[in-house]
Every structure is written in C-alpha cells, then in structure tokens.
Amino acid sequence: MKKHSVKFLSPGTFVSEQSTLEIDSWDIKKAVQMSKTITERHGAKPYGFRFVTRERKKNELDSKEVKWSGIYYLGGKILTLEDVVDRNDPNDKILISNMRINEWDKIIVNTNSYKITLPFTSKDVLLNIDDFEEIKEN
C-alpha cells in the first residue's frame, strides 16, 4: 500500500506550522492550487510545501515515509552568503554568522504572509508563482 501526500509549511512562532493533505501524485500544479486553501494560526499562509510518500508492506501495521522531496518554495528570493554580506546591513550579523557556521551556501527569503528566512538546499525548488496565474483561489 502506497499513499502520497503534500505537507504545507507556513511560518510559525518557533517552528513552521504544517498541514498535510493527500494527493494522487507528486503534482506541483495541483499542490500550488491546494496551498491556496491553507491558513494556519495568526493567518499564516504557506511559504512552501514538500511531497511525501508513505508505504506499508502487507505484514506491517503502520506505514512509514519512504520518499520525500525537497521544499518547493512558493516564491521568494534566493541569496548567497556574498549577497547578504554585500548588503552591508548591521541587522544581518547573526544571519551571516549562522550561514558561515552551518555552511549554508544559500538562503531563501519569502514574504507570502510573514517573512521567513531559511537555508536553501540543492534539493529545494523556487517556483515562479507567475507561472501558476491560471490557478484560481477557491
């Protein structure tokens, strides 16, 4: 038995809020459409999502995650360490330190609802939301 889901990620107080919904396949367009229906606490809207596949073998009682995607970000701006340093903003002191210590090559800044700044990995994807204009909100 195999099931696919999409886990929506929204800004939270200390960690990201998450809502998980079933989906037929890892369909990016459908996931973007579904993201428009998600609202978390304090009106937070998703900054991104990831696909997850759970599987259960015949002799197992519960399913387990067997495959997951990187995060598909719903817009935002990718910055390198050099970009952040070049901004010469004193407020970036901790961010620069975190990027250096954790060896983050890139970060993403997204402002779909509340501003989030997160590491951007090689598995992550930045979606151009303008490509999904034909998707209407429910």
Per-residue pLDDT of 23-73, as tens digits, reads 999 999 999 999 999 999 999 999 999 999 998 888 877 888 889 999 999
Q: Estimate to the nearest angstrom the gap between the alpha carbon of 54 and the chain centroid.
A: 19
Bridge partners, residue 72, by sequence: 49, 125
- Which ranges of 52-121 would DSSP assign to H, the alpha helix? 81-87, 93-101
Q: For residues 109 and 116, what is the distance between their CA atoms, to the nearest angstrom? A: 6
pTM above 0.75, yes or no: yes
Lowest mean pLDDT among 1-15, 48-62, 102-116: 48-62
Vertex 100: Cα angle to 99 and 101 (nearest 5):
95
The average confidence (pLDDT) of the chain is 91
Q: For residues 137 and 37, what is the distance between their CA atoms, to the nearest angstrom? A: 7
- At 4, list the tokens: 């696919």
Asked whether residue 138 carries a pLDDT value surpassing 50, the answer given is no
Vertex 72: Cα angle to 77 and 85 (nearest 5):
25
Bridge partners, residue 4, by sequence: 23, 53
Are the beta carbons of 122 and 95 closer than 8 angstroms? no
Asked whether residue 135 carries a pLDDT value surpassing 50, the answer given is no
